[in-house]
Chains A and B, each alone.
Chain A
């Protein structure tokens, strides 16, 4: 193989790395695994946050009217808005459409396994139901439901099958796509069915309000805040609240694991570069004796660390995509979203790993006395 010929000291740094190819490969893989873990965890977190708002992202309206004191739905809603509130909202100026939603969390047992479902009761005429019915149709009767297709696939439910929730036999008339959530799959039913299950006829967990043309969402929020016993907020704020709640549950553990992966990555780079540097102490001493300044040695050590970490980070991004694909294929309820910002964060983390990894080796070469070359 023809040797690389790069400007010095870059050429020496690269050749130092390539001289022990196995060690170089192990360092790249070590960093790649750490980066993969970081990026996968960030992607999983992004997926969890994304799935936490997936319903609201597709539901109609830009303003949410909730019962007083309620600012999210993730834990289920035990308070309800009476029918009169919906009528009152509809009568306010600037209101285009009011979509009442009745939400119920349930944990039915399917084939001996408990599943968390979010039962969405909606009015077919007003919207708020499934946005992508990939098979079958929307419910037309009070014993019909549209089931999330991932949940259906997990339990081999098909259109026409039935299952029980709270003593009611429900018939699957459609399967919806994009309705899987880490915190539970969505099941859509006519509002009347959920009314009867939660024993609150005519009530709603929330009202999703669409402003009339010419009225802004903010103006509408201001108008609707005059209605007593409600909490009126922008739908985007509601979505942020949903994500905040989920993040509060998962962030600590995710951050802990990300930090652990980062430390492992930095240690891998550090150990590899330290070992490689230590093995070449004599050569670094020679370079110093020849007349190189310490900055030249820092560049050699630093470049080795940057190349190891940079290549590892690049491979790690690929690994993370592969891991995300594998997880989403094997467990479709997990959404892994690897976005450009996560990649940027991870690559920056890789760079910091390189700097940290180079710190001790650089200190080691800085302390070398060139005169030692002559002392045997």
Chain B
């Protein structure tokens, strides 16, 4: 393991104790090199968000270590974490989470000013960054008046302004149409490759799989092999073939997360076969 990038080693997160104990993440290990785009997928409740919170130094792991560029986050005291988050992480949220009272430029500059950068320098840097992101004509706009895609680009600008080594994105395409979602993912990939930043994305969105360098499937708090997984043509959820409900149509086997999906498919297969790509 070299010092650069994100290194997660045997991380476990437990909530509660005794009979009420819940293990949200179980012995997860992961290496993300600089320039890597890693997509973590999984059903609801699989532990994706908990893992993301731990990667982002927002939640302490119960066991294991998380290190970013050689700095072991899990060993740092709570009062050091805000500064680490500010300078080493860029966060992108599903709901964009821009500050509604500020305009586009100030939303991005705000994060820079938190590091102690001067007001004018921060605004200049934000303007330059936003112009590179294609939002030079929107600097003085209220963040609330932008389209979803534009909002997400502002959020990306905010995530980038402090030049973090790791960008964590939580369902970044969930509130975007497919075009804007695709553009956002391409932008994140370009940032990773051109600027050498690690990008970890948590998402349900099957459409963005091809943009990631690696796709990991998290279920029951553990990574599972994606090779044996295939999407349910009805609901889009990745399912393990071995445990899935199956149905054959026109000589092709389809895999479903539940009987409900298979019944829905059986009623009108043509609705689903046109848009899905079975294995």
Contact = CB atoms under 8 A, between A and B. Distances in A.
Contacts of B58: 289, 370-371, 374
B101 A16 contact: yes
Contacts of B83: 291
Interface stretch (B67-75, B110-118, B255-263, B264-272): B110-118
Contacts of B193: none
Interface of B: 49, 52-53, 56, 58-59, 82-87, 89, 91, 93-95, 97, 99-103, 106, 109-111, 113-114, 119, 122-123, 140, 158, 170
Contacts, number: 87
A43 to B, nearest CB: 38
Nearest to A279: B100
B97 A291 contact: no
Contacts of A5: 106, 119, 123
Q: Secondary structure at chain A's binding surface: helix, strand, loop or mixed?
A: helix
Given A290-B114, A293-B82, A15 B102 contact: yes
A11 B84 CA distance: 24
Contacts of B95: 376
Contact of A292 (B56, B82, B109, B170): B82
Contact of B59 (A3, A12, A371): A371
Given A15-B101, A286-B97, A289-B91, A371 B85 contact: no
Given A8-B109, A8-B114, A289-B58, A283 B100 contact: yes
B99 A283 contact: yes
A289 B119 CA distance: 21
Contacts of A291: 82-87, 89, 111, 114
- Pairs A-B, 6 closest by C-beta atoms: A291-B86, A15-B101, A291-B85, A8-B113, A7-B119, A371-B58
Contacts of B84: 291
A286 B91 CA distance: 9
20 contacts: A3-B102, A3-B140, A6-B119, A8-B109, A9-B110, A9-B113, A15-B101, A282-B97, A289-B85, A289-B91, A290-B86, A291-B89, A292-B114, A370-B58, A371-B53, A373-B93, A374-B52, A374-B58, A374-B170, A376-B94
A375 interface: yes
Given A8-B109, A291-B87, 7 more contacts: A3-B103, A9-B110, A11-B119, A19-B100, A291-B82, A291-B85, A371-B53
A2 interface: yes
A290 to B, nearest CB: 5
